[in-house]
Amino acid sequence: MSNLNLNLYENNFIQPIIKLDTTNAPANGADILIEQLYKFYGEVKVLEDLDLNIQAGEFVAIVGRSGCGKSTLLRLIAQLEKTSYGEIKFQSARNFREGITNDDIRVMFQDPRLLPWKSVMQNVQLGLAKSQRGLAEQLLEKVGLKEKAAQWPAQLSGGQRQRAALARALSHAPRILLLDEPLGALDALTRLEMQNLIERLWKEQGFTAILVTHDVSEAVQLADRIILLDQGHIAHNFQVNLPRPRKKSIAFAQLEQQVLDAVLAT
């Protein structure tokens, strides 16, 4: 490990997020190494002694009951909040020396959070340099919204708004995409379409993906691994050894039931 860039916090319980540079990993994604992670809100312990290693380009789903710490873990990885103790390390996976920055990490929420006074195209172009704005049109075409580019967010359906939010997140070519139950409010058919879209773009762009979901079937459909959290701990780590594209099968149903049984046992 070289070229450590340490951001030290004065708070006695805040530990640094360590950012590493390397050229020895596959392109596009980023490794994430979490060591002895704790998170407190006042005296309430949300995450406790959590260790997790996610490889560059891996798709990981996090499941568990409400309040188990899923979304908190995502916010810590996104650097939207500081850890109480422990380390989160990012290791670059591109073939040139460049540290992981906030721009390399994008979050997609259940609420698309589109700016209502800007068009769909303008929402996707947010933060892009003028020379990069053509990318927004390409992404809108990829997510099936090219014909909706000039419309306002209020004119879109819920699924279309999430497609726009996905295009906006990917417009910055993130190495890490964090998905905080982005499909939870969609109807069943739209949800399946969005799952297929997310998987296709993940394959094309090679980013590291972390999905928080209450839907065990969705986790089995999308993930390489499924992490079950229980009271701030990792209770189970399931490997999903099913070929892609995934179809309903006996093996799919068996793994889905295994994960669901583990969730119900927490």
pLDDT, tens digit, 9 for 90 and up, residues 64-119: 999 999 999 999 999 999 999 999 999 865 544 456 777 789 999 989 999 999 99
Whether residue 234 is contained in a domain is answered as: no
Domains in the chain, number: 1
The residue segments making up the domain with residue 165 are 109-174
Of 29, 65, 67, the residue nearest 178 (C-alpha): 29
Q: Could you tell me if residue 181 is inside a domain?
A: no
Sign of CA dihedral 230, 232, 235, 236: positive
Task: Report yes or no on 216 lying in a domain.
Answer: no
**pTM of the prediction?**
0.85
Residue 55 belongs to a domain = no
In angstroms and rounded to an integer, the radius of gyration of the C-alpha atoms of the chain is: 19
Residue 102 φ/ψ region, left for φ over 0, alpha for ψ in the -120 to 50 degree band, beta for the rest: alpha
pLDDT digits (tens, 9 = 90+) for 1-17: 333 333 323 333 333 33
Which tokens sit at 154?
């209020």
The verdict on residue 209 lying in a domain is no
In a domain, 208, yes or no: no
